[in-house]
Amino acid sequence: MKFFATIVGAGPAGLAAAVEFKAREINDIVVFEKGKDICSTIRRLYPDGKRVDKVYKGLELKSEGLCNFETESKEAFLKRMRHYVKKYQIPVQFNTRVENIEKLNDLFVVKSENLIISESFIVIIATGVFERPNMPSYPIPETVKDKVFFRLPNELPKNEKILVVGGGNSAAEIACLLSGVCHVSLSYRREKLFRINEENLKELEKRKDKIRFLLGTDIERLEPYKDQIKVIFKDGSSENFSKIFYCLGGSTPKDFLKRIGVEFINNRPKIDEFGESNIERIFLIGDIAVQKGSIMYAFNSAHKAVTRIIEKYIKIFRR
């Protein structure tokens, strides 16, 4: 459970960072990947047979580290990445979405679904930029889209009838926040809220007269109704709300970074030339670190960050 480095994301950047550590015989590392296989973004967004260009969008970079490739097909590129995983015995834990990172004494505590999944001295964030909040399984009608939210808007609603959907910490936090100024109902498909930390449970308990708990309720579909949204539940009942806040897990990469305390300048995360953020020992590499990324950039930024980490931190860690 204790590691020198935790790497978040098994795309080109995260895997290249792991290769760079392993090649230098630094073995106490772990990679967490939310998908069921490596390189989720490439598998999901590249059409089959797509050419993977080494020079991408005019960005011509020479390989600086151990990972490299020449222009080839999507399938050949994925085979190459699988070869790296096998050759360097990269320890990837799949189906594990990192949701929070907190500092505790000298280590970072990395969490998924409120459980501690690793404690480590260094964290490398290589999540790319394509993460999105989870969506409901039913469509959201075009005409109600302006009343449906996946994060808090800048201006909070007042005196409105709100439905918060979800059973995790974000749902609890939004329900508590709005309960002082709106009529809030919290809909969750299970009978009990079980993915919530103690602090949020206490906050919910304090507001139990202000929040209407609709536990064990599953939404079937939404329909427009005058200037409201008609929510039709699977048991056949329905109710109208003025706004809905969905908190179904997942977040944009930017929200994730902000939540853990990474600072931004001009809408970009604040990092130094090696990818180290304002939080000492948290590094950002690959697409998440730049305006315009590419696979070669991901490989090279991993090399640069790992070289720096070893120079600056390995002795301190081993002392």
Ligand X SMILES: Cc1cc2nc3c(=O)[nH]c(=O)nc-3n(C[C@H](O)[C@H](O)[C@H](O)COP(=O)(O)OP(=O)(O)OC[C@H]3O[C@@H](n4cnc5c(N)ncnc54)[C@H](O)[C@@H]3O)c2cc1C
Verify binding: residue 17, ligand X, rule CB under 6 A: no
Q: Does 269 bind ligand X (CB under 6 A)?
A: no
Q: Does 284 bind ligand X (CB under 6 A)?
A: no
- The owner of tokens 């329909």 is 223
Instruction: To the nearest 10°, report the CA torsion of 28, 127, 276, 111.
Output: -60
Q: State in angstroms the smallest separation of the CB of 124 from ligand X.
A: 11
Q: x/- contact string, 66-105, with ligand X (CB under 6 A)?
A: -------------------------------xx-------
128 binds ligand X (CB under 6 A): yes
Q: How many residues bind ligand X (CB under 6 A)?
A: 34
Query: From edge to edge, which strands make up the β-sheet containing 148-149?
Result: 148-149, 243-246, 161-165, 183-188, 211-215
Rounded to an integer, what distance in angstroms lies between the CA atom of residue 238 and that of residue 222? Answer: 9
Reading the block at residue 163, the tokens are 């439905």
Q: How far apart are CA 37 and CA 31, in angstroms?
A: 12
Please report how close the Cβ of residue 265 comes to ligand X at its closest, in angstroms. 20
* Stretch touching ligand X by CB under 6 A, among 80-88, 123-131, 181-189, 225-233: 123-131
Residue 19 CB, nearest distance to ligand X (Å)?
A: 12
How wide is the angle at C-alpha 268 spanned by C-alphas 265 and 270, nearest 5°? Answer: 60
65 binds ligand X (CB under 6 A): no
Instruction: Give the span between the Cα atoms of 254 and 252, in whole angstroms.
Output: 5
Among the listed ranges 11-19, 183-191, 192-200, 206-214, the one in contact with ligand X (CB under 6 A) is: 11-19
Instruction: List residues near ligand X by CB under 6 A.
Output: 8-14, 32-35, 39-42, 45-46, 52-53, 56, 97-98, 126-128, 130-131, 286-287, 293-296, 298
